[in-house]
Amino acid sequence: MRLFHVFALCLIFVVHTACGQQQRGLPQDNFSRAHNGYSESQLKEVATSRVPISMVRNVRQDRNGNIWMAASWGGVFRYDGKSFTNLTYGKIEPHRFWDVLEDRHGNLWLASTDSGVYKYNGKTFQHFTTNEGLADNLVMSIYEDRDGNIWFGASRYDGKSFQNFTIKDGFPSNSIRLLLEDKIGKLWFGAQGEDMFVYDGKTFTVLKDKDGKAFNNVWSIIEDKKGNIWFGADGLWRYDGNTFTKVSQRDAYSIIEDKNGNIWTTGGVKPTGDWALSRYDAETLYNENPIVTEIISQRPALLGLLEATDGSIWFGSMLGVYRYDGNTITDFKSAAGQK
């Protein structure tokens, strides 16, 4: 990927269908220090639990098959197939952890929205904040590009130093998340409460509909096996390189494609306001009305998604983490789930 210098902003009208509006009802942390109902006993319960019981925004799997969960105020948990281990308990004070990533060198990166990021090399933690050059101590996503750079919102880390990007560098926003580098090297960005845009190595394109309205507040973007781009913006959308198609009215906070080509999402369902784990059948994805199977719906919210190597689907929630094996949903905070 080319190094960024100074970019020219290019707002281009690119699509011919209705624009997604701002995704509604995005969940807030249920154990926020800023919340009036917060108590030390709640924090202690969350931090000392043997399994995640607070908000799990993202779920990942490392090269050894371990499942990792960023649990707000609870810490960062590892599941090795038999039991959970809290990596951070007693080593890092509780933070609002949002994301975790294993890089190509085997290091773990932990993102928080109140204390920057941590790097764990298997033995020790290294802490990065604005003092070390990070753009902001509020970090909601981590992404490793094909050159091995690690992105934390508007900050790119090359292993030695941070480079931070703003509208002064041509970015359409100061509040960005790199969500995807596609197969041809384009970078797809979401901006907090703002527009989705793509960088092709020369220009930025803010994606807009025929009325000039942008897709905004996009939290998840994936590229499927066929090269289509999927994202959520007041519904589930697919982009084939020329046309945007609204696949479903169901919101899509998190999106994955499984090994069989099915698309899975978590997100709100109108008009009930419930949040659902939904599977879109691969054989009908391009039909006018694809077959959607609702695996579970509930309140509060369902969040990050992962297909593990064994084919099971893991999903985070406001109250911990779940696993779906095709037949049964395991709630790990329940007594049965901890056996």
Q: In which band, very low, low, confident or very high, does the pLDDT at 335 lie, cut at 50, 70 and 90? A: low
Q: Which helix (H) or strand (E) holds 180?
A: strand 176-181
Q: What is the pLDDT of residues 214-249, one digit of tens each?
A: 898 898 999 999 999 999 998 999 999 988 999 999
Indicate the pTM of the whole model.
Answer: 0.87
List, as own/partner pairs, every contact residues 233-237 make where C-beta atoms lie below 8 angstroms and the sequence separation is at least 24, other chains included: 233/19, 233/20, 233/21, 233/22, 233/23, 233/196, 234/20, 234/21, 234/22, 234/23, 234/24, 235/20, 236/263, 236/265, 236/267, 236/280, 237/20
Instruction: Please indicate whether residue 181 or residue 94 has the higher confidence score (pLDDT).
Output: 181
CA neighbours closer than 13 Å in the CB half-sphere of residue 173: 21
Q: Is the pLDDT of residue 18 over 80?
A: no
Q: What is the largest CA-CA distance in the chain?
A: 56
- Nearest one of 113, 111, 96, 157 to 132, comparing CA atoms: 157
The DSSP-derived string for 107-144 is -EEEEESSS-EEEE-SS-EEEE-GGGT-S-S-----EE
Tell me, what amino acid is at 95?
H
| CA atoms of 250 and 335, how far apart (whole Å) | 32
Instruction: Render the burial of 32-52: b for 16+ CB within 10 Å, e for the rest.
Output: beeeeeeeeeebeebbebebb
pLDDT tens-digit map of 262-295: 999 999 998 888 999 999 999 999 999 999 999 9
**Mean pLDDT on 149-163:** 95
Rounded to whole angstroms, how far apart are CA atoms 261 and 281? 8
Which residues, in sequence order, are CB contacts of 46 under 8 Å at separation 6+? 31, 53, 54, 71, 73, 74, 94
Residue 99 or 23, more confident: 99
Q: How confident is the model at residue 336 (pLDDT cuts 50, 70, 90)?
A: low
**In 3-state terms, what secondary structure has residue 162?**
strand
pLDDT for res 255: 98
Name 313's bridge partners: 307, 324
What pLDDT was estimated at residue 294?
97
3-state secondary structure of 246: strand
Residue 27 has pLDDT above 90, yes or no: no
Q: How is the chain split into domains, by residue range? A: 220-307
Q: Which tokens belong to 339?
A: 């056996």
Alpha helices (H) in 121-229, listed in sequence order: none
Residues 154 and 165: beta-carbon distance below 8 Å = yes
Nearest to 332 by CA among 71, 40, 42, 30: 71
The distance in angstroms from the start CA to the end CA of the chain is 46
- CA proximity to 282, closest of 311, 304, 308, 257: 257
Cα(161)–Cα(99) distance, integer angstroms: 21
The pLDDT assigned to 178 comes to 84
Residue 108 has pLDDT above 90, yes or no: yes
pLDDT tens digits for range 66-80: 999 999 889 999 999
